Amino acid sequence: MLSRFLLLAVILGTVLPQASSFTTPVSLKPAFVGQKVSSQALHAKKKKKNKKKSSPTADTASAPAASVATVASALNEPSVVVETSSDAVESEEGGKEESMAEKEFALKAEAESKAKAEEEARVKTEVELKRKAEEEARLKEEAEAKAKAEEEARVKAEAAAEAKAKAEEEARLKEEAEAKAKAEEEARVKAAAEAKAKAEEEARLKEEAEAKAKAEEEARVKAAAEAKAKAVEEARLKAEAEAKAKVEEEARMKAEAEAKRKAEEEARLKAEAEAKAKVEEAARMKAEADAKAKAEVEARIQHIEQINSIEDIGDRAFAILQDLGLTKDD
């Protein structure tokens, strides 16, 4: 499973930028690794390589070397560092002609060092991959936790908003219901007050109508009584007036009769007075004529006295005429 992840990391290029820092420890590298090889050694190496292809030792040595080369190429190691162990051994055999035991020991040491390096690289890669996976898992977990928290917050906010909206709606409905109930109560109270006021107004109008009818009836009765009393009074006054007129008429007639009688009496008295005056005047004139004829001197002496006497007589005669209702002309 780890090799698959490693291969996948190599393919995708996720390990290559980080693997440049991976190097094989110096203490684990053989002394011959990285040494310059002569042309003769390379020629001898090629010959012996062809001879030893079928050798199990060579195969055993070349296998870990190939794997080391693969890992080294993945870790961007220098090409001189990843020389195959077979080339190094052949160059060493060509130069020093070491024994088979020494070759095996060197190959074994090289294989162990390379295996150790591979193991360390593998462990480091696993640690890095594990760290990266843990980091990704942590980030993913944090993202999920954040998303979950945001979702919970959103749900909570939506629930709070819904609860708030519901509470506001309930409050609004309650307020509307209270306002409606209040309006209905006010309308009922107003209708009751209006009905009461209307009933009171009708009762007042009825009472006023009854009082008015009663007053009119009383006024009619009173007017009838007054008219009757007035008629009686008028009849009485008329009777009194007629009686008075009759009495006055009788008195007038009596007065007229009395006046007529008095006038007639006065006329008679006047006529008598006039006749008497005429007689007296005639007697006086006759006496004067007689006296005048007697003596002219005596007449002259008594002239003033005669005049005064005549005047007195005239005054008395005029007074009598006035008593009779006559004038001098009469």
**10 Å Cβ neighbour count for 196?**
10
Quick one: pLDDT at residue 101?
86
Quick one: pLDDT at residue 312?
62
Does residue 25 lie in a domain region?
A: yes
What's the rounded mean pLDDT across residues 129-153?
91
Does residue 295 lie in a domain region?
A: no
Instruction: Report the predicted TM-score, pTM, of the whole model to 2 decimal places.
Output: 0.26
Does residue 304 lie in a domain region?
A: no
Q: Are 267 and 324 in contact (CB under 8 A)?
A: yes
The pLDDT tens digits for 197-255 are: 999 999 999 999 999 999 999 989 988 888 888 888 888 888 888 888 888 888 888 88
Does residue 311 lie in a domain region?
A: no
Give the residue, 213 or 26, on which the prediction is more confident.
213
How many structural domains compose the chain?
1
Domain that holds residue 81: 2-151
Does residue 202 lie in a domain region?
A: no
Does residue 223 lie in a domain region?
A: no
Does residue 99 lie in a domain region?
A: yes
Question: What is the maximum span of the chain, computed from C-alpha positions, in angstroms?
Answer: 260
Task: Let me know how long the chain is.
Answer: 330
Quick one: pLDDT at residue 9?
59
Quick one: pLDDT at residue 173?
93
